[in-house]
């Protein structure tokens, strides 16, 4: 079992527990050289179905006692879980791989293994959402975030995958890899807590639901590009974090012919019943695997 790479996720509910089991089984079934990596499942203290029965076979369940500062804030548990994971690593671990429970691995996700070449591996966001177009001046929201990470602006840009908007660096967070030896996950939590507790920021620039929901992701994006050299950030290909939940909105030339062509995809609220997945081809052995796990 490789000790260099560890997979992480968080479970908040009974439904997420079922999804997490599928995610972990998919890594074991289709992970290739990474199929036996350790997995850490963080369970929130509000969980209605404890995850202890998920433990074993390299899977460790870790209770997550949330601090009051971020307990009720959107995705605060995700940021806190990542920070907690960073405190648990040994010097041998060079890749912490976060994957949301509503994702699956269907081919070996080898690019999540950072080795000694990269410090992080990320995908651009799927859609613009709160992202700041490269042609727009800084707004108060992003200006405050950049100031928190210690810069006045950033030069790094991305193009959102689905709606193809040029943006200042703004990364998808369904799945990513980070070298824990850089200490960025605990810094992420520190910055998140600071801006959540900034009453003036919350009352004005971050007062609406969208900006609150994606604050964690905006801070993470700014922190990565302000802390790491550009050549140390691996840009993952579109086969990673593919948004199957947005499949109908993905430009035709970007849609994979088959689900088997992907490495990692997110499905969010979409069904994974192969009989209902009529908008994409699914070949064996993935079709049989999905059929068995969806009905389990």
> What is the tens place of the pLDDT at every residue in 200-214?
999 999 999 999 999
pTM: 0.95
Check whether 22 has a pLDDT greater than 70. yes
Extract the tokens encoding 38. 């350790």
Domain boundaries, the chain: 5-295
Instruction: Identify the residue whose tokens are 């994606």.
Output: 214
The DSSP secondary-structure symbol of 54 reads G
Average pLDDT, the chain: 94
pLDDT of residue 1: 42
Residue 46 has pLDDT above 80, yes or no: no
CATH code, residues 5-295: 3.90.550.10
The DSSP annotation for 166-201 comes to EEES-B--SEEEE-GGG-HHHHHHHHHHHHHS-HHH
* pLDDT at 59 (0 to 100): 94
> What is the mean pLDDT of the segment spanning 81-92?
93
Residue found under tokens 């960073």: 86
Q: What digits encode the pLDDT tens for the residues 111-153?
A: 999 998 999 999 999 999 999 999 999 999 999 999 999 999 9
pLDDT for res 53: 84
pLDDT digits 0-9 by tens, 207-264:
999 999 999 999 999 999 999 999 999 999 999 999 999 999 999 999 999 999 999 9
State the residue for tokens 């200490």.
183
Residue 104 exposure: Cα atoms within 13 Å on the Cβ side: 25
Contacts of 24 (CB under 8 A, 6+ apart): 7, 39, 41, 54, 59
Residue 10 in this model has a pLDDT that exceeds 90 = yes
State the pairing for strand pair 39-44/5-11. Answer: parallel
């Amino acid at each position: 079992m490789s000790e260099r790479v560890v997979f992480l996720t968080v479970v908040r509910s009974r439904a997420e527990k079922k999804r997490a089991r599928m995610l972990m089984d998919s890594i074991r079934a289709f992970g290739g050289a990474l199929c036996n990596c350790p997995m850490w499942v963080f369970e929130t203290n509000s969980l209605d179905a404890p995850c202890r029965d998920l433990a074993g076979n390299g899977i460790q369940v870790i209770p997550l006692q949330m601090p009051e500062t971020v307990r009720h804030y959107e995705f605060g548990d995700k940021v806190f879980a990542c920070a907690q994971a960073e405190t648990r690593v040994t010097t041998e671990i060079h890749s912490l791989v976060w994957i949301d429970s509503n994702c699956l691995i269907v081919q070996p996700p080898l690019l999540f293994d950072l080795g000694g070449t990269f410090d992080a591996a990320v995908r651009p966001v799927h859609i613009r959402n709160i992202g700041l177009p490269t042609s727009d001046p800084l707004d108060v929201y992003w200006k405050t975030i950049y100031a928190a990470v210690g810069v006045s602006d950033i030069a790094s840009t991305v193009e959102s995958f689905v709606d193809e908007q040029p943006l200042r660096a703004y990364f998808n967070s369904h799945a990513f890899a980070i070298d824990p030896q850089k200490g960025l996950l605990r810094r992420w939590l520190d910055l998140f807590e600071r801006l959540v507790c900034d009453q003036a920021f919350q009352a004005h620039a971050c007062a609406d639901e969208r900006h609150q929901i994606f604050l964690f992701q905006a801070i993470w994006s700014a922190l990565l590009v302000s802390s790491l050299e550009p050549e140390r950030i691996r840009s993952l290909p579109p086969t990673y974090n593919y948004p199957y939940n947005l499949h109908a909105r993905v430009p035709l030339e970007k849609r994979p012919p088959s689900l088997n062509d992907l490495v990692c995809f997110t499905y969010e609220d979409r069904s994974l019943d192969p009989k209902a997945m009529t908008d994409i081809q699914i070949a064996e052995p993935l079709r049989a695997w999905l059929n068995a796990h969806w009905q389990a």
